Amino acid sequence: MVSMKDIAKKCGVSIATVSKALNGQKDIGEETRKRICAVAEEMGYMANSVARALKTNRSYNLGMLLVDERRSGLGHEYFSTIIEGFKAEAESHGYDITFINSHVGDQPTSYVKHCRYRGLDGVLVACVNFEDPRIQELAASNIPLVTIDYCFDGHTAVLSDNTSGVEALVRYAYNKGHRKIAFLHGEDITVTRRRLDGFRQACDELGLKIPEEYIVPCIYHDPDLCQKATWKLLHLADPPTCILFPDDFSFIGGHNAILSSGYALPWGFGVGKAVSALGYDGINLARMMRLTTYTQNAYTIGKTAADRLIHTVEHPEQAVPERIMISGELMEGNTVLDINR
């Protein structure tokens, strides 16, 4: 195995200079650093992780906690893209990723104990029940933590701008002439509460009087339940002309309900009166179906979470808890009929 001593001999410098170059320290010249790094790569040098851990008191291993009772987290494009962004940023800083859970082998344990068992430097928490006592215990520990779409006191949170996203969708439908806009929202979690705030704020500002039966609880990422809820909306005495769905994937069920209820879709599919549709997330499926939706900037959310977690791990004395809001953008498709014409 190639050592720092071998690199130092080939470059004609001291072992200390090689160490400084490979660890990114600033007190050597840039040309020297580049030359040493190039030689190290050419020789196939790989730092010993155990030696690095002893020297820095860090494992260079970050935990990732996703607990999705419906088991759609890793299959959900929004969360998988967050993971992709987090992983890319972490790896660029030399960190590995470990998924954590409430077991070590077949032995049950707490998340805190699992993190300590694995020697994790910090943890990303996303797609969980944040009110779970085990999550609360983790947040109360001294393990560096960054959350997605939820705020704990004393920890940084990276948030998708759910309130503005729904506001943008409502305003888009309004500008197309729609005044009867329904909202099928997800389960009662922080994200849903923010989206409901955005829906009500936009309706109030636009002077829309939305009947309570137009605001229907549903479940994220569940086309079957969404299909049933859509069917009920379309069989009201005064049905909506436009429906905002919990997410893009759920629109599959809404799409089926619209057609089976004797309505048509705005691009001419179906035989009855057209019902307009809005999604949320901006996944690839939405692009294929030409669904008008709000695209969450999931990759940037993940990348930002990794950057802030690593900063907290490496510079704890400088770390200040932040609330970082990441905006997305409305993606126009052809599922909202312009009824102004």
Helix or strand or coil: residue 325?
strand
Topology of the domain covering 4-47: 434 Repressor (Amino-terminal Domain) (1.10.260)
Segments in 119-273 forming alpha helices (H) = 133-140, 162-175, 190-206, 223-234, 251-260
From 43-57, 147-161, 193-207, the region with the lowest mean pLDDT: 43-57
> 15-69, pLDDT tens digit by residue?
889 888 887 676 788 889 889 988 988 888 876 655 565 566 778 899 999 876 5
Q: For the chain, give the percent of residues with pLDDT over 90.
A: 67
- Res 244: pLDDT: 98
Query: What does the mean pLDDT of the chain come to?
Result: 89
Topology of the domain covering 61-160+298-328: Rossmann fold (3.40.50)
Q: Where are the domains of the chain?
A: 4-47, 61-160+298-328, 162-296
The span from the CA of 313 to the CA of 247, in Å, is: 34
- Res 150: pLDDT: 93
From 101-105, 147-151, 164-168, 217-221, the region with the lowest mean pLDDT: 101-105
- Res 93: pLDDT: 85
Helix (H) or strand (E) holding 149: none
DSSP letter, residue 26: S
Q: DSSP states of 60-106 as a string?
A: -EEEEEE--TTS-TTTSHHHHHHHHHHHHHHHHTT-EEEE--SEETT
- Res 167: pLDDT: 98
Who has greater pLDDT, 59 or 320? 320
Q: Is the pLDDT of residue 264 over 70?
A: yes
- Res 84: pLDDT: 94
**Residue 330: strand pairing partners:** 294
Banded pLDDT at 302 (limits 50, 70, 90): very high
- Give which of 336, 58, 52, 282 is closest to 172, Cα–Cα: 336
Who has greater pLDDT, 253 or 319? 253
Topology of the domain covering 162-296: Rossmann fold (3.40.50)
In whole angstroms, how far apart are CA 132 and each of 14, 79, 116, 129, 138?
Answer: 53, 20, 19, 6, 10
Q: How many CB atoms lie within 10 A of CB 259?
A: 16
Mean pLDDT of the 99-118 span = 81
Helix or strand or coil: residue 54?
helix
Asked, colleague to colleague, whether 4-47 and 61-160+298-328 share their fold, the answer is: no
